[in-house]
Chain A
Amino acid sequence: MSLLVALLWLLVGPAHAHSWMIREGYATCAECHLDPSGGGLLTDYGRAQSEILMRMPYEDRAPDWEPGKTKDFLWGAVPLPDWLELGGASRSAYLLQKSGPPDVNTHRFIQMQADLRAHLKIDHFRAYGSLALAEEGARGALITSAPDMNIVSREHWLGYDLNDHMLVRAGRMPLPYGLRVEEHTLLARKATQVDINDRQQVGAAWAYNGKVVRTEVMGIAGNFSVSPDDYRERGGTGFVEWLPFSRGAFGVSALAAHANVDPEFLVERTRQAYGVTARYSPVEQIVVYGEGDFLVEDRDSDNFTGNTGFVAVDYQIVQGLHLKGTGEWLSYSIDTQADTVGAWGTVQWFFAPHADIRVDVIQRSANTPSTGLKVDTTTGLGQLHFYL
């Protein structure tokens, strides 16, 4: 067990998804990611693009420069057969947080993620799975159930490629809704409960990636990491994104799910979310992207609505170095729920093959009208991420 723990600790990686790749004309995700809606393990092509387009080059590249074996699994040390993709990633973070009132100061190291992922493809058939060691969190993807240091499986599914553009899958996978971004703690991602950290659910999905439209719809059978069955949601979710030109994408999303007993609120709950998304790169250096969502909550006797969203501007100073500003909000129609606004400042540097560093400063202000309570939180987060 300790050897497995050690191995999993070394192998890492949360899924990472970069909506701003649209700047390179990549409006769809399926060329680079084995999940057709983005995130997770990269295809061969995606590994190459991460070297060609994302990583900071330290030398002038000739027009015929090709990424070498360092783009491959384990930096090319272990060649894999064509039918197998392996990967993993580690995301280590140091968090500094000040909030109040009352005044609370926190600082700690977090091993955010340590995932090993595998994908098999034989003819049209596909199988995908992940295993990870979660020091804390990821409670929605547990296999073991210790207070900490649990083994989790965020994703595991079987799929069939109907053709070059369509994939059907069944298993545990991220919910197709909204913009799939790596900032899983964004207010919109938390409120819609579709983040890529541990909000994956079991279901069946159909995805289409075309030149003008991409879409995925999924029937939700529930999160089978929780039991009994009363705690599991049933429902459906999906998005459609229109791609009128190679650097623009505009979409709509919808989600509806019901649980007899919501595991967080411990009451019967039906939740709905309806969103619009936009991604646009006016020039290669700049991408503007964002999402707005309308929420409908039915929690036992509490019925209310809300709205949430974010707008981000990513500026690539030079290849591999990004400055990003994000504004976000979450607001509810009832006084007992906090209304929150936030702003992020981010610097992200893709400094080496398979590796990036990221620093975020996040300022949030949450106001609960019924109590008059206003809490301001300032967070500094430094992350080192590398993938195999």
Chain B
Amino acid sequence: MRSRSLAGLILCLWSLPAAAEIKMIGKPKVGFDADGSAGLDIAATAAPDGFSVKEENGKVIFTIKMTSIDTGIELRNHHMCDKFAECEKYPTATLTIDRSKLPIPTTEEKKVSIPGTFNAHGVDQPTTVDMTVKPAKNGWEIDGSFKFNTTNQGIAIPNYLGVTVYPDMVGHAKFTLVDV
């Protein structure tokens, strides 16, 4: 009797589903903020189809296509991509966190600070992601931000006709995740 119970338990445990994979739904709002000399303020946004979320080997990877970023002025986009971020050589930037640190699933709102790795211009840099996870009608709404420094990413400090963009910037994203 005891051996049959044990076998049954093993069978049950064997057939338990793996932790559900997460997937993004809907249109994300993604961008970064930068400032500079003389009060320069850049509120850059990324096209929704330039942002993706993937779960892989215990990590969650947020990826942004560099060419999807709009700083508000076409010439500035061109300078950013061609002269500084070298988008042809480094077409994406990624932010990677441990899946285990992402508080999904959850039935209540949670504010967390998660260590992560930001990769841009081919350089990995540690960062901290401040995130609010809120249960939504479908899945969970994520609102997160993190700081990065473009000099640390190996990017030269942009200067155009005497106006400098400071290297300390903030990336931010709002999107919805579901279990699949």
Binding site for B on A (CB under 8 A): 24-25, 27-28, 30-31, 36, 43-45, 47-48, 52-53, 61, 63-66, 164-165, 209-211, 214, 243, 245-246
Known: A164-B164, A165-B37. A246 touches B77 (CB 8 A): no
In the complex the two chains form, is B73's CB within 8 Å of A43's CB? no
State the CA gap A66–B42 with chains docked (Å): 19
Q: Which residues on A sit within 8 Å (CB–CB) of B82? A: 64
Instruction: Give 6 A-B contacts (CB < 8 Å), ordered by A residue.
Output: A44-B162, A61-B74, A64-B82, A65-B74, A164-B37, A246-B72
Known: A44-B162, A45-B161, A45-B163. A63 touches B39 (CB 8 A): no
State the CA gap A211–B39 with chains docked (Å): 5
Assign chain B's interface to a size class.
Answer: 20 to 34
Return the 3 tightest CB-CB contacts between A and B, nearest first.
Answer: A28-B39, A209-B39, A30-B38
In the complex the two chains form, is A211's CB within 8 Å of B161's CB? no
In the complex the two chains form, is B39's CB within 8 Å of A214's CB? yes
Judge whether B19 is part of the interface by a CB distance below 8 angstroms: no
Judge whether B78 is part of the interface by a CB distance below 8 angstroms: yes
Known: A27-B41, A245-B43. A66 touches B164 (CB 8 A): no
CB-contact partner of A52 in B37, B43, B75, B164, under 8 A: B75
State the CA gap A244–B39 with chains docked (Å): 13
In the complex the two chains form, is A243's CB within 8 Å of B41's CB? yes
In residues 87-139 of chain B, which contact A (Cβ within 8 Å)? none
State the CA gap A243–B35 with chains docked (Å): 12
Q: Which residues on A sit within 8 Å (CB–CB) of B42? A: 25, 246
In the complex the two chains form, is A211's CB within 8 Å of B43's CB? no
Judge whether B14 is part of the interface by a CB distance below 8 angstroms: no
Q: Which residues on A sit within 8 Å (CB–CB) of B73? A: 24, 52-53
In the complex the two chains form, is A31's CB within 8 Å of B163's CB? yes
Instruction: Give the distance to chain B from A317, nearest Cβ to Cβ, in Å.
Output: 19
A243 to B, closest residue via Cβ = B41
Chain B 124-164, CB-CB to A under 8 Å as 1, else 0, gives 00000000000000000000000000000000000011111
Known: A25-B72, A52-B73, A64-B78. A165 touches B43 (CB 8 A): no
In residues 12-64 of chain B, which contact A (Cβ within 8 Å)? 35, 37-43
State the CA gap A164–B38 with chains docked (Å): 6
State the CA gap A320–B24 with chains docked (Å): 41
CB-contact partner of B43 in A44, A164, A246, under 8 A: A246
State the CA gap A246–B31 with chains docked (Å): 13
Q: Which residues on B sit within 8 Å (CB–CB) of A66? A: 75
Known: A61-B74, A66-B75. A25 touches B161 (CB 8 A): no
Q: Which residues on A sit within 8 Å (CB–CB) of B164? A: 164
Q: Which residues on B sit within 8 Å (CB–CB) of A61? A: 74
B38 to A, closest residue via Cβ = A30
Q: Which residues on B sit within 8 Å (CB–CB) of A211? A: 35, 39-41
List 9 additional A-B contacts (Cβ < 8 Å) besides A31-B40, A165-B37.
A27-B39, A45-B160, A48-B161, A66-B75, A165-B38, A211-B39, A245-B43, A246-B41, A246-B43
Q: Which residues on B sit within 8 Å (CB–CB) of A64? A: 75, 78, 82
State the CA gap A209–B40 with chains docked (Å): 9
In the complex the two chains form, is B74's CB within 8 Å of A28's CB? no
In the complex the two chains form, is A25's CB within 8 Å of B39's CB? no
Q: Which residues on B sit within 8 Å (CB–CB) of A245? A: 43
Q: Which residues on A sit within 8 Å (CB–CB) of B162? A: 43-45
In the complex the two chains form, is B43's CB within 8 Å of A65's CB? no
Interface centre among B40, B78, B162 (most CB of A within 10 A): B40
CB-contact partner of B161 in A30, A36, A43, under 8 A: A43
Interface centre among B38, B42, B73 (most CB of A within 10 A): B38
State the CA gap A36–B39 with chains docked (Å): 10
Instruction: Give the distance to chain B from A35, nearest Cβ to Cβ, in Å.
Output: 12
Q: Which residues on B sit within 8 Å (CB–CB) of A165? A: 37-39
B76 to A, closest residue via Cβ = A52
State the CA gap A153–B74 with chains docked (Å): 39
Instruction: Give the distance to chain B from A61, nearest Cβ to Cβ, in Å.
Output: 7
Instruction: Give the distance to chain B from A305, nearest Cβ to Cβ, in Å.
Output: 34
CB-contact partner of B77 in A44, A48, A63, under 8 A: A63
Q: Which residues on B sit within 8 Å (CB–CB) of A47? A: 161
Instruction: Give the distance to chain A from B13, nearest Cβ to Cβ, in Å.
Output: 53
Q: Which residues on A sit within 8 Å (CB–CB) of B78? A: 63-64
Q: Which residues on A sit within 8 Å (CB–CB) of B77? A: 63
Instruction: Give the distance to chain A from B134, nearest Cβ to Cβ, in Å.
Output: 23
CB-contact partner of B75 in A28, A31, A63, under 8 A: A63
Known: A211-B39, A246-B42. A65 touches B75 (CB 8 A): yes
